[in-house]
Structures are given as structure tokens and as C-alpha cells.
Structure 1
Amino acid sequence: MTDNIPVSSHLTAGGTIAASLGDVRGRVSVNQPLGARSWFRVGGPAECLFQPADTDDLVAAMQRLSPEIPVTTLGACSNVIIRDGGIPGLVIRLGGAFAGIEVDGNGLIVGGAALDATVAETSAAKGLGGLEFLAGIPGSIGGAVRMNAGAYGSDMAAVLDWAEIVSRDGTLLHLEASALRFGYRRSALPDGAVVVRARLRGVPTEQGVVSGRIAEIRTAREGSQPVRARTGGSTFRNPSPDISDMKAWQLVDAAGCRGLTIGGAQISEKHCNFMLNTGNATAADLEVLGEEVRKRVLEKSGVNLQWEIKRIGLKAPETKGEAA
């Protein structure tokens, strides 16, 4: 629920945080707007935004940063709601220096900022199968590792060999996949850690076969999801089979929530496990809508849906909107 989310008044420590990073080579900005970076196009500013020049720059900054300062990592901002009050502390966003992709035997070593779809396309070009599912996941590899992203019959747990991370205290760590203890849409990646590289294993496959699978995934996604709207991907996790044999979208639909609207936020008519910003939504609209859907599903089916979209930051002093 949203009741216990801290309320933002002003983010005032950005300059102090920026100064504490020392002589970094990357870009640092204070009270940097984030809404335009989000797929939902909502959200407040980052108190202090840091875009490191490379891994060494990130390590040095994290080592200097006071342990009291919260750290949030943003990737492609696809499966996230940034709350209207903004994100306190240090926000890290990896840029082009972390988006590299290189062939490594029958696998790919990819940067944390590499886009999932680009990784899929590269795997096709190099004749490596098994990574096609990434074409159906909006986002970047760092976020995919953290949440064990998956679609179309596979997930990161099935293809990850290892991940290289920078921990909250600035230690560069090499973690085998087993150390991440993957579960459904989750991993044991430590809080504040940043994924900078990962190795994904593939299977030698004819280029045309891989490209054909990717095309099929994209066609299926285009036909069933509101891919051209302001959305954030799947809103709720599918319940485990021992709780319900229905998928999240089926539960939402059965509760009469298809097309449900609060403020500028709406449950998609095309796929009702997707929320939309119809043009003037706030983050509060989206979050209140999601909680209303959870309430109605619980009343209808007894299933307590869990958010898949990550909600981060502080809420603004006021929220708006009523269900329609």
C-alpha cells in the first residue's frame, strides 16, 4: 500500500552529496528532473544524479560516499514508477561506457546499460540462440539481472553465467549466477549494488533461425501489448500456481478492471496487466490505480497480487484522482 511512503517537501542535500563524490570524471547534477527519462513520463527529480565515466569512476565514487546516503540505480526506466516527490540520495545512471557487447565463445559479455533488445539482435547477428526472449523485454541488462526478467519461455536465470557488480561500499565483485539465488522476478543482488557487466550463454544457431524467433516475439508483443503507449511493462507478477491457476491479467480482467481509470492513469484495454499514462498522469495516479486494482482483485478472487513494477522515491504532498 502507499500509506507509509515518506512525503517529500524539498530535496536539499544534492549539493552536499555531489561534493562528497570528490573528483569524479563522470557527470554529476543536482535536482535533475527524471520524468522525461521514465517510460511512463512521470516522476520527480533526483536529489543528486551521477553518470559515471567507467567502472573505476563508479568504484571511486561509491567508496567516498557516506554510508548514510541512499543509492538508487536507474537503467532504461522501463519497469519503474518514479514517485512525484523525487528520489533522495544518489541516483546512478549508467551511460554508453556500460553498454558494450562482445562475443565470448558461445556467449556474450554485456554491459549493465546494454539494452535487452540490442543484446537479442546481437545474438542473432553472431549466430547465438537462447537469448531471443530479451527482444520482448523493455529495459537494460542491469535491471534484467536484478529482477530476473523473463518472457516468452525463458528468463535471466536460464542464461546468466556471472555478473560483475559494484557493491554499495565500492567493492568490485564477480558473482557466479548461483550466488544471486534467482527466483520468480527477483534475485539476491544486494541493495545499492550496481550491475556493470554480465556474461550470458548462448547456443550456436543459424542466424536466420534466431532472427526468425525474434521477429515472432516482436509480432506477438505488438499484437498483444500496448507497446506504443506510455507504459511500464507488466504491472503485477503472475501468482504462483499453488495460489491461482489464473495469470495476473486474467485476475485483473475478472475483477472488472479492464479500462479502469484514475486521473490520467488507465488499465490498458488491450492488455489489462499494463497501466498507461493517457497524457497527464502523475506517479500518484498510477500507484493509486494499481492499489485499487489489487483491492478489487482481492475482493473478487482472494488473490493478493504483488507489484512487478518497481516503485521508488518519495510521494508528493498531495495525490489526486478518483476511480472512473
Structure 2
Amino acid sequence: MFADLTADLKARMPELRGRLDANAPMAPLSWFRTGGPAQVLFAPTDEDDLAYFLARLDRSIPVLVVGLGSNLLVRDGGFQGVVIRLAKGFTDIAVEPGNRIRAGAGAADVKVARTAAEAGIAGLSFLRGIPGTIGGALRMNGGAYGGETKDVLVEARGVTRAGEKVSYTNAQMGFTYRHAGVPEDVIFTQALFEGRPGNPDEILAEMNTITEARSSTQPVNTRTGGSTFKNPTGRKAWELVDAAGCRGLRVGDAQVSEMHCNFLINHGSASAADIEGLGEEVRRRVREHSGVELEWEIKRVGLSLG
């Protein structure tokens, strides 16, 4: 258990509207369903509330932003600092003229893809293959099935650690493979995307194809964090993991998926240490077998126990 900071934060921020919780469990917020608590969990009401909070938060206190928790591993000692969860108030999705979609950073990628499809806006179907939120897609240049966030983004809005509202054009985002060049302390709040005219039935059929492809090749509906390692240039991470003999490798209740070996699975009682330790063992074996240093794609945060 961490020291309770909520009383002090409330005293410093009398106009705060969002919810503050001390020592809040993080396991329910992560797809792995494991890990320790957040010292403080803050759910801002809207962008103004978030800016107000950040402008008055001591700069020495670490901040972590979470959405659906699909690409996140919280270590067993929990996160010492403030975890900001963008949920209600950041999930609106709206269709705008010019084949455009505006979405809050907390909106699920799949819902944005479906809204675009129903509006006859093509080019955003790839979002159906990303099990996260728009905020994560912006931060990681999320992509799947031939599309990336950089292909459709017009601009993104966010709030700095100092509480300043900022916006970035596509060019200013500094997109590269699974990365955005925007400072790490910027919390994205909203994005504007632009597709192209399309037939709703054809777009929905494309999304269904993506859904079927995921279901047949990936361990969906399990406690997993999605793709574990980034694809090295010109290579596929899963092929390297497989060639190193790691398919099905297990540490306690943590296992390399038999279906897709770039996925780690929690079979029920795996600790975060089990999952991270398994990932590091996979990295070691791949390095010894092929000489390739795999880079984690899953974000690992917090304190280890022991």
C-alpha cells in the first residue's frame, strides 16, 4: 500500500470534478488481469478537468495514462504516482464533413472503425484489428492489416504535464514504426481522422474479414497483452520466437501462445513477474538463436516486488 495522496490533492485542487481513488487496483484495468495497485487513480471528467489537474500536480509525481489496458503490464509492486484513466468524457465519436471522424482518446479503436464504416468512410478499417483506444494508437502509431494511424490522422489534441492544451498536425506527430515523436508527457485527448468515400457494406465486409483473421490466428478472448515484441526491420517477431523454440514455453501460469507465439497469455494466476520473466527468457533465446534483440511492444510499468 502506498501513502494516500488524495486528501492533499483535493485540498490543492478545490475545483476538480473528476474522481480520485487511493491505492486503486490496477489488475482489473489491464487485459493481463495482474499487477499491483495505483497509488492514485484519477478519472478526469473532460479535457478542461484534466488540464486543471495537471497544472496543479507536483511535477515530481510520476504520471501514467491508461485506456483499455490492452498493451499494458503493471508490475506486482504497483505504480507509485498518479494513473490517469481516460474513460467517460473521452469516448465521444462524431462524423464530420469531408469523410472525417473526430474521436476522443478514450474511444475504442473498433468503435471508431465501425462508426466510419456505417458513415461510408473507407480507410479506417485497420483500426478493427487494434484492441486498444485512440490515445494508444496516437502514441504508438498503431497499425494492423496494412494500415497505420499516420495514414489517416489529420491532427491530434492533448494536454502537457504543465496543463497546457496543445495540438499537432500529422507532420508534427513525428510518426515512425510503432512510435510518435511527441513528448512523452503529452496526454492525448482527441484526434481527427480523414478517410475516403466508400460503400458501407463493402467496408463492413472488410472489417468482418479482419475479425475472422484475428480470431483464427490470434488468442483473442484470453488474458493477453496483444503483440509482445515489435517486428525487427525486415523480420517478423513471431517467426523469430518460433525458430528459437519458444512456442508454448511456460513459466507458472504465463505461457507463450501456441496459436501465435508473439502473444503471452495469463492462464489465470500468473504474476506480472511471471509474464515479464517469460518475455525476457524469450528475448534471451531469440538473441542466442538468431542474434536479434527483440524490443518489447507491451508497455511495462511500476515497481517489482522483492
Partner of 1:139: 132
Residues 152-191 of structure 1 deviation map (CA, whole Å, 9 limit, x = unaligned)? 0011011111100001100000111111101110111222
**Which residues of 2 match residues 43-62 of structure 1 at below 5 A?**
43-62=35-54
Deviation at 1:21, TM superposition (A): 4.0
- Conserved in 2, the CA contact under 8 Å of 1:44 and 1:83? yes
**Which residues of 2 match residues 1-324 of structure 1 at below 5 A?**
10-15=1-6, 16-17=8-9, 19-105=11-97, 106-241=99-234, 246-317=235-306
Deviation at 1:129, TM superposition (A): 0.5
Aligned positions, number: 304
Deviation at 1:96, TM superposition (A): 1.6
Say which SS state the counterpart of residue 183 (structure 2) adopts. coil
CA RMSD of aligned residues (A): 1.1
CA distance, structure 1, for counterparts of residue 280 and residue 156 of structure 2: 34
Structure 2 counterpart of 1:27, one-letter code:
R
TM-score with structure 2 length normalisation? 0.97
Name structure 2 gaps, 5 residues minimum. none
CA distance, structure 2, for counterparts of residue 17 and residue 235 of structure 1: 36
CA distance, structure 2, for counterparts of residue 170 and residue 211 of structure 1: 39
CA distance, structure 1, for counterparts of residue 189 and residue 252 of structure 2: 38
CA distance, structure 2, for counterparts of residue 142 and residue 22 of structure 1: 28
Deviation at 1:277, TM superposition (A): 0.1
Say which SS state the counterpart of residue 231 (structure 1) adopts. strand
Residues 90-124 of structure 1 deviation map (CA, whole Å, 9 limit, x = unaligned)? 11001221100111221101000000000011011
Residues 124-167 of structure 1 deviation map (CA, whole Å, 9 limit, x = unaligned)? 11000000000011010001100111000011011111100001
Say which SS state the counterpart of residue 229 (structure 2) adopts. coil
Say which SS state the counterpart of residue 97 (structure 1) adopts. coil
- Conserved in 2, the CA contact under 8 Å of 1:164 and 1:196? yes
CA distance, structure 1, for counterparts of residue 88 and residue 265 of structure 2: 29
- Conserved in 2, the CA contact under 8 Å of 1:40 and 1:231? yes
Residues 19-48 of structure 1 deviation map (CA, whole Å, 9 limit, x = unaligned)? 444431011111100101110001111111
Partner of 1:4: none
CA distance, structure 2, for counterparts of residue 253 and residue 22 of structure 1: 55
Q: Percent identity?
A: 48
Distance 1:298 1:220, change over 3 A: same
- Conserved in 2, the CA contact under 8 Å of 1:72 and 1:192? no
TM-score with structure 1 length normalisation? 0.92
CA distance, structure 2, for counterparts of residue 50 and residue 20 of structure 1: 15
Structure 1 counterpart of 2:303, one-letter code:
L
Say which SS state the counterpart of residue 54 (structure 2) adopts. helix
Name structure 1 gaps, 5 residues minimum. 1-9, 318-324
Structure 1 counterpart of 2:53, one-letter code:
A
